[in-house]
Amino acid sequence: MTKINMNENMHLHGLRGATTSSSNSVESIEIAVSELITALISRNNLHPEHIVSITFSVTADLDACFPASIARKQSGWEEVALLDCQQMSVKGDLEKCIRILALAWLPNDQAAQHPYLGKAIILRPDRSNIS
């Protein structure tokens, strides 16, 4: 793995995002997580060595698989700390929702991009129109 010098030109950022799964199946969750990870990486121009950790939280109606196990399949992610947890249950919350909180190093002159995909665009419509 190539090491990047995280110096005064880089700052640690908390990158947030969310998506929804079409159903509580391994296949649907894999598609949703893969799309969310792809958007996080491409929108922030991330390389594996930039990513410190990602915490995935899911609503209680998603229990077919662990999102982190899907992310572990990413090439070069052996050093990325991944964690799954269940989202706090709140009446009226968005169903089948997968949220992420990633800690990643970004250049000082780069604005953090937070992907909100699928039905999760309603959570942060101000962040959902970023391509």
Whether residue 5 is contained in a domain is answered as: no
pLDDT attached to residue 5: 55
For residue 2, name the pLDDT band (cuts at 50, 70, 90).
very low
Residue closest to 36 by CA, chosen among 125, 92, 119: 119
Contact (Cβ atoms closer than 8 angstroms) between residue 56 and residue 68? yes
What is the token pair recorded at 27?
A: 């296949």
Closest by CA position to 31, among listed 75, 77, 62: 62
Q: Radius of gyration (Cα) for the chain, nearest Å?
A: 15
- The average confidence (pLDDT) of the chain is 91
Number of domains in the chain: 1
**CATH code for the domain of 17:** 3.30.1330.40
pLDDT over 60 (residue 1): no
For the cut 50, the answer to whether the pLDDT of residue 131 exceeds it is no
pTM as predicted: 0.89
Q: What is the pLDDT of residues 40-83, one digit of tens each?
A: 999 999 999 999 999 999 999 999 999 999 999 988 999 999 99
